[in-house]
Amino acid sequence: MQINFDFKRSVGSVEKRRIKRRVILYLSLGVFISVLFCAGVFTWEKIAKRGKPVPHQPGKPIILSLLAAKPEEQTVKIENYVKNGDTIINILEREGVEHQSAYRFFTDVEPVYDLKKIGTGKKYTLSLSKEKNEIKRFIYEIDPDAYLEAWMDETTDRFKGKTVKIPYQVKRQFISGVIRESLFESILEAGERPELTDMMASLYEYDIDFNRDVRQGDSFALLVEKLYLKGEFIRYGYVLAGQFTNRGTTTRVIRYTDPGGKAAYYHPDGRSVRKMFLKCPLPFMRITSRYGTRHHPLFNFSAHHLGVDLASPVGTRVRATASGIVTGKGSNSSRGRFITIGHKNQYVSHYYHLSRFAGGIGPGKRVEQGQVIGYVGSSGWSTGPHLHYGLHKSGRFMNPLRLHSPSQEPLKKDYLEDFMQYTARVSLLLSGSHIVDIPESLTEALLESLSHPAPTPVTSSNSPVH
C-alpha cells in the first residue's frame, strides 16, 4: 500500500479551509487567554497596592519608634501605618478589635483629638490584651511636633487621651559654605539636608532672588536649631540668624523675640525683613523677556513690554507677591488665564498665561503675601510655558525687577537698645564662618532673649510616654 504525503492532493480544499479556521481559532483563543491573564495580574497588583502605606522617607527616624516603650507582658503590640481610605474604625477592626469597642474608642477620644483627621502614611502603635483583643493603649503621630496617646482607664471603663508635645532636645549649630554651583549643592556639601535650602531661600526672599542673583563665590553662614530625639537628628527648628554675601554685599537677618513675646526677623538696624513685595512670584525660573521695548515673538514687530516673562514648567505654583484684593480674574485671547491684585499705595500686580487658578481665588477675595493664586501655563499669546508678571502704581507700569520695596513693621523703638546688644553678639558669632558647636559661654546671653514656642499648638503634658 502506498502512502501519499502530498498535502494538497491528500486533503481536499474544503477540509483544508476547515483546518485553517481551526488553527486561527486556537491561536486567537490562546492570545485572548494570555491577555486575560496579564490583565488579571495587572489588576491584582493595582488592588494589592491600593491601601498600602506611604513608605517612610529614608534618613528620617520614625518618631514613635523612638518614643515607644517596651510592651507589657499581657499585651500584644502592633505597629503599622494608616492606609489609603482608612478610618480609625476599620483600622481597629483590621487589627482584631470588635466594632462596638472600636466605635466607643472613637467617641471617647474625639473630645481630645478628632480621629477623622488621621492621614495616610502616618504611623500608629496599638497595644491589645492577649486574651480578648481589647484596646489597652493607642499612639498616633499627629505631626513632627506632637502625638496622640489614648488608653483604657480601668477605673471608669472608658478611654482617655491626651496630645503630647514631643520632647525634642534643641541644639544650635553654625552651618556655612561657599557657592560653587548652586545654593542647593552647597547645602548638601556642608552635610545638611535639602530642606535647609528652602528655609534659607524663604529667609532672604525679600532681598535676594536666588534664581538670578546668586554667583559663584558667594558665601553664607547660618545659626540654626536642630531638633534631636534620643540622640537622633529629626529635623531643623528655627534659623536664628543668617548671613549671605552676594557679589561682595553682606546681608544679615536676625530672629529676635522682643520683651512682649513677638518673634520676627530683622536686619541689624532694626528694619523688618518682611517687605511689601516679594522679589519674585515663582520659586524657580529664568527670565526670557525683560521689561521695556522688545521684538514681539509672535507678531514680528517691536513694542513696549509692560512686565517680565519668567519661564518655568507648567504647573509651577504662582505666589502673590504682596497682600491685597483680587481685582480681576478671567481669560482672553492675549493674556490667557490671568489674575490682577490690588495692593495698598495704589500698586497693582498682574499674572498672565496661567494654566489654572488656585481654589478660592476670585474678584473681591483677599489674598496674603506668598499665597498660591495659580499655576504656570501657556494660555493666550504665548510661545511656551511662562508667567508674565507685571506691576504698576497709580496707573503707570514699572519694571518689577527694579522695585525697591519698603520694609514693614520695623522694630519698636522701646526694644531697639536690647536688640542692638543682642545683634552685636550674634554678629560676632556669625563671623566664625565655619561649622562648630556653639560654646554655652558665648550664647548664654543670646539664649535668654530667645523663646522656642512649639510650631504646632498642642496640649502640654509632662507625663512620661508609656
pLDDT value of residue 60:
47
Q: How much is the pLDDT for 22? A: 60
| Cα Rg of the chain (Å, integer) | 32
- Give exposure, 121-158, as e/b (b: 16+ Cβ within 10 Å): ebbbbbbbeeeeebbbbbbbbbeebbbbbbbbeeeeee
The SS3 of residue 397 is strand
Asked if the domains 63-165 and 286-402 are classified in one and the same CATH topology, the answer is: no
Question: What pLDDT score does 286 carry?
Answer: 66
- pLDDT at residue 249, rounded to an integer: 87
Return left, alpha or beta for 206; rule: phi > 0 is left, psi -120 to 50 is alpha, else beta.
alpha
Instruction: Please name the residue that has the C-alpha cell 501657556.
Output: 378
Rounded CA separation 290/292 (Å): 6
The pLDDT profile of the chain, 466 residues, written as one tens digit per residue, is 443 444 344 445 545 556 556 655 555 556 555 544 554 444 444 433 333 333 334 344 456 566 655 555 577 888 889 998 899 999 999 989 999 999 999 999 999 999 998 888 888 999 898 777 789 999 998 888 889 999 999 888 899 999 989 888 988 888 888 988 888 888 998 899 988 988 888 888 787 777 667 888 998 988 899 999 888 898 899 999 998 988 888 889 999 988 888 888 999 988 888 888 888 888 766 676 766 654 455 545 455 667 888 888 898 899 998 999 999 999 998 889 999 999 988 899 999 999 999 988 999 999 998 899 999 998 888 888 899 998 988 888 888 877 777 777 788 888 898 889 888 878 777 765 444 455 555 555 454 544 443 333 333 333 333 3
Q: Which cell goes with 153?
A: 482607664
**Stretch (H or E) spanning 386:** strand 386-393
Domain covering 169-275+410-448 assigned CATH 3.10.450.350 in the classification? yes
Other CB atoms within 10 Å distance of the CB of residue 210? 22
Q: What is the pLDDT of residue 255?
A: 92
CATH architecture of 63-165: Roll (3.10)
Cα–Cα distance between 265 and 245 in angstroms, integer?
Answer: 18
Is residue 105 a contact partner of residue 50, using CB atoms and an 8 Å limit? no
pLDDT at 207: 78
Alpha-carbon dihedral sign for residues 224, 229, 234, 237: negative
Question: Using an 8 Å Cβ cutoff, are 145 and 225 in contact?
Answer: no
CA dihedral 393, 398, 404, 410 (to 10 degrees): 20
- pTM, two decimals, is 0.59
For 48, residues 6+ apart whose C-beta sits below 8 A from its C-beta are none
Cα 366 from chain centroid (whole Å): 23
407 phi/psi in degrees, rounded to 5: -75, 160
Instruction: With H, G, I as helix, E, B as strand and everything else as coil, classify residue 408.
Output: coil
Where exactly are the structural domains of the chain? 63-165, 169-275+410-448, 286-402
* CA–CA gap between residue 244 and residue 172 (Å, rounded): 19
| Cell numbers at 104, concatenated | 466607643
Upper half-sphere CA count for residue 369 (Cβ side, 13 Å): 16
Per CATH, the homologous superfamily of domain 286-402 is Glucose Permease (Domain IIA) (2.70.70.10)
- What 3-state DSSP class applies to 226? strand
Residue 150 confidence (pLDDT): 92
Q: Are 149 and 161 in contact (CB under 8 A)?
A: yes
Bin 301: left if φ > 0, else alpha if -120 < ψ < 50, else beta: beta
